[in-house]
Amino acid sequence: MKSPWRPVSPPATTCANYKGKCENPHGHNYKVRLTLAGAELDPAGLLLDFKLLKQVLHPVIDRIDHRMLNDLEPCHRAEPSAENIAKYFYDQTNQQLAAMTQGRVRVKEATLWETDTCTATYYE
């Protein structure tokens, strides 16, 4: 199951270990897509209702919406690269889905679009 594209309002970031324009404060209009997996469907024949997925994603997005990523976990310990932000979505949504579905549904991968042509995908 793949979630629809979900826009993330532009947070700000700097990349201290990167030499170039991105070492200066800047923002991105990220988009995120989650691919979910599970061994069985619920009684309605769904892996997960999209309405519930939105409930899971909403607080994860709100936490970084219009914020300075470098000041937030985990980016104050690691560079706020697209790869690390994709991992953030993977970890946070997996944690919430595990609680919501008693482990029946998990995130298979999280893809983050930094631009229309540049993506990072995180999976384990």
Residue 114 annotated as catalytic = yes
Tokens for 57? Answer: 């994603």
From the candidates 26, 58, 66, 76, give the one annotated as an active-site residue: 66
* Whether residue 76 lies in the annotated active site: no
How far is the C-alpha of 50 from the C-alpha of 9, rounded, in Å? 20
Rounded CA separation 112/90 (Å):
10
Does the annotation mark 75 as catalytic? no
The DSSP code sequence of 53-96 is HHHHHHHHHHHHTTSBGGGSTTTTTS---HHHHHHHHHHHHHHH
Tokens 């979900």, located at residue: 6
| Catalytic sites, residue numbers | 22, 66, 114
